[in-house]
Amino acid sequence: MADVAVTPMEVLSGSVEENELALTTELRQVAQARAGLEAARNRLTELKAIHGIDMMEEALVAQGRMVSECEALARAIGLQLYEQTQQKNLVAGMKIREKVNVLYTAEMALAYCQEHAPALLRFDAKAFEKLAKAVIEAGQALDWVRLEKLFEATIPTDLNGLLMENWIIQTHEPKEGGDAPTGA
């Protein structure tokens, strides 16, 4: 599914509680869109079995697009909420995952490996990235390598609980030694 461009700064502007409510509302939209997509897929399969025709393919594509849009907005809200709170565990099981990309030129990496890690002479990008990350994190300089931190908002696959009428919003209060969620 294609990503939909959403600027997080355009999404949230309230307090943490208001933003958590906005995220929960958007995740509820994701859950409804996913449920609609699943129902459309099931109906299409049923129609194909009965009639041998593809009557609902356009509706299925449109529903898939709606799921993508809802998920993109939920991710944008989640990333902005993370920027606001620095909490990686958000509402309804949504989490923020941190990734580090190692950026370098292959020529410089090969030269470095020839001098410092001859076992990597058959240049293995994954092995080099692991080595470069460890070297930099140990405080040694590799001025031709940068570590780029990326944050990614992950949406739980099971959002059915959000479709229940009496859903309770979880709040997240920092605790000593972590950012575990607490029920409200």
Higher pLDDT, 45 or 170: 45
pLDDT of res. 55? 59
Distance, in Å, from the CA atom of 86 to the CA atom of 17, rounded to the nearest integer, reads 14
Distance, in Å, from the CA atom of 108 to the CA atom of 146, rounded to the nearest integer, reads 12
Task: Write phi, then psi, for 173 (nearest 5 degrees).
Answer: -110, 130
pLDDT of res. 21? 86
Which pLDDT tens digit goes with each residue over 134-164? Answer: 999 999 988 999 999 899 988 888 887 777 6
Q: What is the mean pLDDT of residues 109-126?
A: 84
pLDDT of res. 60? 75
Q: What is the mean pLDDT of residues 161-175?
A: 56
Instruction: Evaluate if residue 15 carries a pLDDT over 80.
Output: yes
Answer for the pair 12, 80: CB distance below 8 angstroms, yes or no. yes
Three-point CA angle 43, 46, 51, nearest 5°: 120
The ranges assigned to domains in the chain are 8-96+155-183, 105-144
Of the candidates 152, 4, 9, the one whose C-alpha atom is nearest the C-alpha of residue 80 is: 9
